[in-house]
Amino acid sequence: MQQIKWGILSTAGIARKQMVPAIKEAGNTMLHAVASESGKAADTAAEWGASVHHDSYEALLNDPDVDAVYIPLPNALHKEWVIKAMHHGKHVLVEKPAAVTSDDIREIREAGKETGMTWMEGFMYQFHPQHSYVKELIEKGTVGAVQKMRATFSFPLDLTSSNIRLDSSLGGGSLYDVGCYCVHACRHIIGQEPEAVVGTGRKQSGTGVDISTSALLTFQDIDAVIDCSFNESSLNRYEVSGTKGRIEVPFAFRPDQNPDNGEGLVIVRDENGRETERKTFAGNQFTLQIEHFSQCLIDGTQPVYTPESTHNNMKVIEAVYASQEQI
């Protein structure tokens, strides 16, 4: 099988913990190069098992052996380096959010069309099989006509730290960091775009970033409620409520946090709240994501997650933030 040679821009923790193991596990990928501008490239390449290291991002983009790059830089730097990478002839998988405004996403889309390179925003969770099963249940009418969806993603963050999630200049904030998953999940599972958005949130004094955000998304015939926070205990779940019951996905975005087995879990309840089904789903969502994207590059096909959908997700996020400012 043909293998896509990957390069990674930066030594970010998510790359070390999640993406490097995924590249090694996938059958159609190999880790070729890593770049760092902090003098750690050589040590990181040795630790990660990369064949080559580069001491600047530009040098990696000039490496002729790199087919595609993974970009886990701070949010505010995504647009610059995604566009640069594509103009250097590299395909791109960029961490979510792909940029911090819909105008930025539009520029990335234009660069993709201009260069002919393929790019995708890294919402890895959507490739986990538990979500396709939820959609099957909905389509079969298992819970009747869907009326509402609720999605939550929160975790405790040291709000006195210098974490980049608390830096507004780098695209910090709970909605950008974890709430974006909730927005995406509602759009993905419901299969529509919201017609109206109302949001509220709490900002940290000094930094100005939202440490918690809640919003109501009104779709054509379904309502969705999302909430996210840096100031609550860890929770990553969604549930879909219908006229005949509900579907619960208690480890929607991080199935590895399931303390029983690290697997995805889908629970179905009837209209009285009685459990009628409980099913687990195995799979490394990071591996499934990079396998899908790499296979699209090999086959010359488009990923299932499109630039248009990325653009629409950011427009909803912008609408939530705009609504906050009006309160």
Domain assignment of residue 148, yes or no: yes
Q: Does 182 lie in the same domain as 169?
A: yes
Q: Does 135 lie in the same domain as 119?
A: no
- The pLDDT, as a whole number, for residue 193 is 98
- The pLDDT, as a whole number, for residue 279 is 98
Distance CA 291, CA 286 (A): 9
Q: Does 254 lie in the same domain as 185?
A: yes
Nearest CA to 210 among 225, 199, 198? 199
Contact, 225 vs 320, CB < 8 A?
A: no
- Cα-based distances in Å from 67 to 59, 88, 188, 205, 293: 14, 10, 29, 43, 12
Q: Does 253 lie in the same domain as 172?
A: yes
Domain assignment of residue 299, yes or no: no
Q: Does 277 lie in the same domain as 137?
A: yes
Distance CA 163, CA 186 (A): 28
Q: Does 64 lie in the same domain as 34?
A: yes
Domain assignment of residue 186, yes or no: yes
Domain assignment of residue 175, yes or no: yes
- Position 162, amino acid: S
Instruction: Among 124, 149, 175, identify where a domain stops.
Output: 124
Domain count, the chain: 2
Domain assignment of residue 301, yes or no: no
Instruction: Among 79, 100, 124, identify where a domain stops.
Output: 124
Domain assignment of residue 67, yes or no: yes
Q: Does 168 lie in the same domain as 207?
A: yes
Q: Does 114 lie in the same domain as 15?
A: yes
As a whole-number percent, the residues of the chain with pLDDT over 70 amount to: 99
Instruction: Report angle CA 114, 22, 102 to the nearest 5 degrees.
Output: 35
Domain assignment of residue 269, yes or no: yes
Compute φ and ψ for 236, nearest 5 degrees: -145, 95
Full-prediction pTM beyond 0.85? Answer: yes
Contact, 32 vs 65, CB < 8 A?
A: yes
Distance CA 33, CA 11 (A): 11
Tokens, residue 23:
């590249």
User: Greatest CA separation found in the chain?
Assistant: 60
Q: Does 55 lie in the same domain as 120?
A: yes
Q: Does 137 lie in the same domain as 266?
A: yes
Q: Does 258 lie in the same domain as 164?
A: yes
- The pLDDT, as a whole number, for residue 161 is 95
Provide the domain limits for residue 65. Answer: 4-124
CATH code of the domain containing 108: 3.40.50.720
Cα-to-chain-centroid distance, residue 326: 27
- The pLDDT, as a whole number, for residue 325 is 86
Domain assignment of residue 94, yes or no: yes
Q: Does 30 lie in the same domain as 120?
A: yes
Q: Which long-range contacts (CB under 8 A, 24 or more apart) does 57-63 make?
A: 57/9, 57/10, 57/81, 57/84, 58/84, 59/35, 60/7, 60/9, 60/33, 60/34, 60/35, 61/7, 61/85, 61/88, 61/90, 62/88, 63/7, 63/32, 63/33
Ranges under pLDDT 70 in the chain:
1, 327
DSSP state of 16: I
| 248: β partners | 239, 267
Instruction: Among 105, 124, 143, identify where a domain stops.
Output: 124
CATH code of the domain containing 229: 3.30.360.10
Distance CA 81, CA 87 (A): 10
Distance CA 253, CA 235 (A): 9
